[in-house]
Amino acid sequence: MSEQQAFAQGPEGLTDGFTARRTSQWRVLRSEWIKLLTLRSTWITLIAIVAVIIGFGVLSALVASGSVTPSSSNGGGPPTEAMRRNPLNTVMSGANLAVLIVAVLGSIIGAREFASGLIRTTFSAVPRRLPVLWAKLMVFVGVLLPIVLVAIVAVFFLGMSLLASADAQTVAWSDDGVARSVIGLGCYIVGLGVIGLALGTLLRGTAASIGVVIGAVIFVPALATALLPESWDEVLKYLPSNAGAAFTTASQSGGAMLDPGVGAAVFVGWIVLAVACAAWVIKRRDA
Amino acid sequence: MIEVSELTKRFGAVTAVDGITFTVRPGIVTGFLGPNGAGKSTTMRMILGLDRPTSGTAHVNGRPFRQAPAPLAELGAMLEAKAVDKGRSARNHLRAVGATIGVGRSRVDEVLAMVGLTDVAGKHAGGFSLGMGQRLGIAMALLGDPPVVMLDEPVNGLDPDGILWIRGLLKSLAAEGRTVFVSSHLMSEVEQTADHLIVIGRGRILADMPMGDFIRQSSQHRVSVMSPDATRLAELMAGPEVVVATADDGSLVVEGLGAREVGELAAANGIVLHQLVDVAPSLEAAFMELTAESVVFHGSVDQQAGSAA
């Protein structure tokens, strides 16, 4: 008898008036939304991200403007020339640190369910599986992008006004490439988080995916640029972090970097590649 | 209804499930019995679509589980009790997964009450005992009010109270017309609840029959006889239908002859008997016998139930 029911419904007895709804992408999204927000660690990490972006940015601005002088016994001292020369970098110092936290958060969100075994319950509820990956990505971007962008724009104006009040060098939002690089940096941070999430589902281990995303995506390109001969530079420009640098820095340093638009496209390409691999593996591998 | 047809799963060179075919019907409790490593969990995982079959099909309510429009409301399963995120409360765990079929708070609380976890609903699942984790897993299986319920070793880690509770639950789920499929590696557990029995060993189906038939089929009697003149008695009893074995304590275990025949044979030949017992094997023994050759992981001490009284 139950075979003909397009919509399975249990016999009477256990429940009063509960009717199951179709498992749509929207409902899977709701499920992942609840999952993310019901973990205390999510809230702590989100607060940490905002605190780091704004806190370190403000602190750097104060140091650069000379309002705060780090104690010289710790290797501090008066503001360095570099800090004064590049106000945007100074104010975005926290954002550059937040890259690590967001990448780690992405890896954890991607790998966490595999570590706990919850993924088997999740895939039993959504046996087609891919909606789960899409939902995780949407929730991640939907939560982090606004938070990171708001924090990063806030610290830009906060930091610049601090620098201005100390008569230090500043850049304006309307200056050439500034708005692009500030917004670009926010997108780059969240984009790396997405790559972390994809790697987390791919490698199924929190530690492994954090190691790969931070090591390979953030440090290896920097190391390779420093160690490999110049003839490699053409290739290294296309690595995720270097492609990111192309649209997150306001001043173009000659041919060492891709054009901002090309850099953004290459970076999006890396994200698509990571997500495509994750989707392929999630669909095929036994859970 | 669960229909499994020619289902096979190989992991490299190892064949975990070897072309099995069976049907689990609604309205009764079906026990899925086999030693550890026999392929029970792999079979259940293939039914759920967690493992991809090497070949063959598994259908739930007439179609692959993957195609169910509201999977959680079609088949409720518990594979491992602690498949939860330790940092999430029991209530939020059920809310999150239940959201895939539009389950609301009231239904979550209803199910939590049903499994007796209301008092700890707000506690982190990471702090749960094995028994509480098992109850949470069962709550998840029942959350969508599914017509098919599949539980892998549900009694594991439950205290005697919990075991009684789950037996009652399984029977009432079946009485409501649901399909109930429960695995276990212990005959004694299934004996109490199952109406139908599917026995698996080394990835193959060894028996698929109503519990009553299994009991009848397996109650082939044996006779245990102890005599100072065992050797001569064994020679006298020998025949084409008779199997005589010597147990550790020196007694003879005879298959194919009744206690009365053995006694009369001994009397007619003037053989002294110290003991003559009719041994009706327990279902446990029958199960052990059936799966004896199919146990994958033999302990260092061989499990022989043959001479057990």
Dump pLDDT digits (tens) for A164-222.
988 888 898 988 889 999 999 999 999 999 999 999 999 998 888 888 888 877 778 77
Are B72 and A125 a contacting pair at CB < 8 A?
yes
Is there a domain that residue A8 lies in? no
Class of residue A127 by CB neighbours under 10 A (exposed 0-12, middle 13-18, buried 19+): buried
Give the residue from chain A lying closest to B96, CA to CA.
A31
**Nearest CB neighbour to B69, from listed A7, A117, A125:** A7
Give the residue from chain B lying closest to A16, CA to CA.
B107
d(CA B10, CA B53): 8
Are A3 and B62 a contacting pair at CB < 8 A?
yes
**Nearest CB neighbour to B69, from listed A23, A38, A287:** A23
* Residue of A7, A14, A108 to mutate, interface with B, max B Cβ within 10 Å: A14
Are B73 and A118 a contacting pair at CB < 8 A?
no
**Nearest CB neighbour to B100, from listed A8, A14, A27:** A27
What CA–CA distances, in Å, run from A115 to A55, A101, B8, B96, B107?
33, 20, 27, 18, 28
Q: pLDDT category, B202, cuts 50, 70, 90?
A: confident
Candidates B157, B31, B137; CA nearest to B77 is B137
**Which pLDDT score, from 0 to 100, does residue B41 have?**
93
B12 CB neighbours in chain A (<8 A) are none
Say whether both B119 and B266 belong to one domain.
no
Give the residue from chain A lying closest to B115, CA to CA.
A14
Is there a domain that residue A15 lies in? no
CB pairs under 8 A between A and B: 163
Say whether both B19 and B115 belong to one domain.
yes
Say whether both B8 and B144 belong to one domain.
yes
Domains: count for chain B? 2
Say whether both B92 and B239 belong to one domain.
no
**Which pLDDT score, from 0 to 100, does residue B309 have?**
36
Candidates B3, B5, B143; CA nearest to B74 is B143
A31 CB neighbours in chain B (<8 A) are 96-100
The CATH number for B167's domain is 3.40.50.300
**Which pLDDT score, from 0 to 100, does residue A18 have?**
73
> What sign does the dihedral B148-B154-B159-B164 (CA atoms) show?
positive
How would you classify the pairing of strands B204-210 and B196-201?
antiparallel
A14 CB neighbours in chain B (<8 A) are 114, 142, 145, 173, 176
Is there a domain that residue A271 lies in? yes
**Which pLDDT score, from 0 to 100, does residue A136 have?**
97
Is there a domain that residue A2 lies in? no
Give the residue from chain B lying closest to A124, CA to CA.
B48
Candidates A50, A61, A64, A172; CA nearest to A105 is A50
Is there a domain that residue B307 lies in? no
**Which pLDDT score, from 0 to 100, does residue A8 have?**
41
A43–chain B Cβ distance below 8 A for any pair = no
Is there a domain that residue A7 lies in? no
Comparing B250 with B27, the larger pLDDT belongs to B27
The CATH number for B274's domain is 3.30.70
Say whether both B7 and B71 belong to one domain.
yes
Q: Which helix (H) or strand (E) segment is B287 a member of?
A: helix B283-291
Say whether both B86 and B229 belong to one domain.
no
pLDDT per position as a tens digit, B239-275: 887 888 888 888 888 887 888 888 998 999 999 999 8
Give A281 to chain B, closest Cα distance, Å: 13
Say whether both B177 and B87 belong to one domain.
yes
Report which DSSP code applies to B100: G
Is there a domain that residue B271 lies in? yes
Candidates A163, B196, A131, A64; CA nearest to A172 is A163
Are A23 and B45 a contacting pair at CB < 8 A?
no
**Which pLDDT score, from 0 to 100, does residue B89 have?**
95
Is there a domain that residue B104 lies in? yes
pLDDT score of B301 more than 70? no
Say whether both B39 and B129 belong to one domain.
yes
Low-confidence ranges of chain A (pLDDT < 70): 1-17, 69-84, 251-255
Domains: count for chain A? 1
**Nearest CB neighbour to A23, from listed B86, B101, B177:** B101
Cα A211 off chain centre by: 15
> What sign does the dihedral A25-A27-A29-A31 (CA atoms) show?
negative
Is there a domain that residue B300 lies in? no
Give B273 to chain A, closest Cα distance, Å: 60
Are B70 and A126 a contacting pair at CB < 8 A?
no
Say whether both B194 and B267 belong to one domain.
no
Are B65 and A20 a contacting pair at CB < 8 A?
no
Report which DSSP code applies to A219: I
Say whether both B35 and B97 belong to one domain.
yes
Give the residue from chain A lying closest to B27, CA to CA.
A11
Query: Which residue range(s) make up the domain with B131?
Result: 2-217
Q: Where are the beta strands (DSSP E) in chain B?
A: 2-11, 14-24, 29-33, 55-60, 75-78, 148-152, 179-184, 196-201, 204-210, 222-226, 243-246, 252-255, 275-279
Cα B276 off chain centre by: 33
Is there a domain that residue B145 lies in? yes
Give me A39's structure tokens.
């973990």
Give me A5's structure tokens.
């029911």
Say whether both B15 and B28 belong to one domain.
yes
Are B26 and A20 a contacting pair at CB < 8 A?
no
Query: Which residue range(s) make up the domain with A186?
Result: 23-284
Say whether both B83 and B203 belong to one domain.
yes
Residue pair A227/A248 in contact (Cβ under 8 Å)? The answer is no
Is there a domain that residue A16 lies in? no
